[in-house]
A and B are shown apart, each in its own frame.
Chain A
Amino acid sequence: MIGNDVIDIQQSRQESNWQRKGFLEKLFTAEEQFFIQQDPNPEIMVWVFWSMKEAAYKIYNRETKRREYIPKKLICKIAFIDNNCIRGQVSCGENNYHTKTAISDDSIHTIAVSCFSNLNNVFEIDKTEIFKDQYGIPYLSNGGKPTKDVSVSNHGRFEKIVTII
């Protein structure tokens, strides 16, 4: 299964004040907060963790059909950091998701998969016919019939549509 989340950094500065009292405490685990505070660029780490949680939540929602606001139950772990790419894991109860986050000057983009071997098989596709089921979960479609899992993320100037190929 697939999930993804893009953040327009410029837009996030207009919409959110991550330094406001209580913000980090309500969204991030103690370990994530520690990681954010240790980072030379805490703002970027805030949105890296957030996009990891959002991308993983999209799979969780697809699997369970549950709608919940559970950022602190989506626990992020960083596996390694290589230049502008971060590989990690997000766990939620017994569910585990694998993530890859690309950081650029103006955006942060995380893809998440439930099966590790699919992490390198995720591709961006152009805007196309999308079918949404009763839970709002998107699929690629052909003539109104769902054919394949797809994940759509919009923020500010960016839209990312990804699927496993």
Chain B
Amino acid sequence: MNKEELIAKLKVIIRPYTANNEAYDNLTENTDFIKDLEINSANLVDIVLDIEENFDVVIDNTDMERMLDVKTAIEIIETKLAAK
């Protein structure tokens, strides 16, 4: 899976938790889940759980701590997929 495909798949996951539709439509690697997409912090865990289910990977606490933006999420997913 290349980066564009990863971002597209991630974008589908974060859709239901996103409050700012304009930021969602203009999503880039630099988009921040909380500051830009205005995702409730209680829903960040849902994104982590959805990533685990959709990509069949395990995200540990250390990775979850950093998962605040698209770029870091993609980087973590790539690392997990490569280790499979």
Contacts and interface: CB of A to CB of B under 8 A. Distances in A.
Interface of A: 12, 15-16, 20-23, 26-27, 50, 54, 67-73, 136, 155
A22 B65 CA distance: 16
Interface residues of B, number: 18
B29 interface: no
A16 B50 CA distance: 13
12 contacts: A15-B40, A16-B42, A20-B49, A26-B45, A26-B61, A68-B66, A69-B65, A69-B67, A70-B65, A72-B61, A73-B65, A136-B35
Interface string B25-50: 00000000001000011111110110
Contacts of A27: 45
B75 interface: no
B7 interface: no
Nearest to A72: B61
Contacts of A15: 17, 40, 42-43
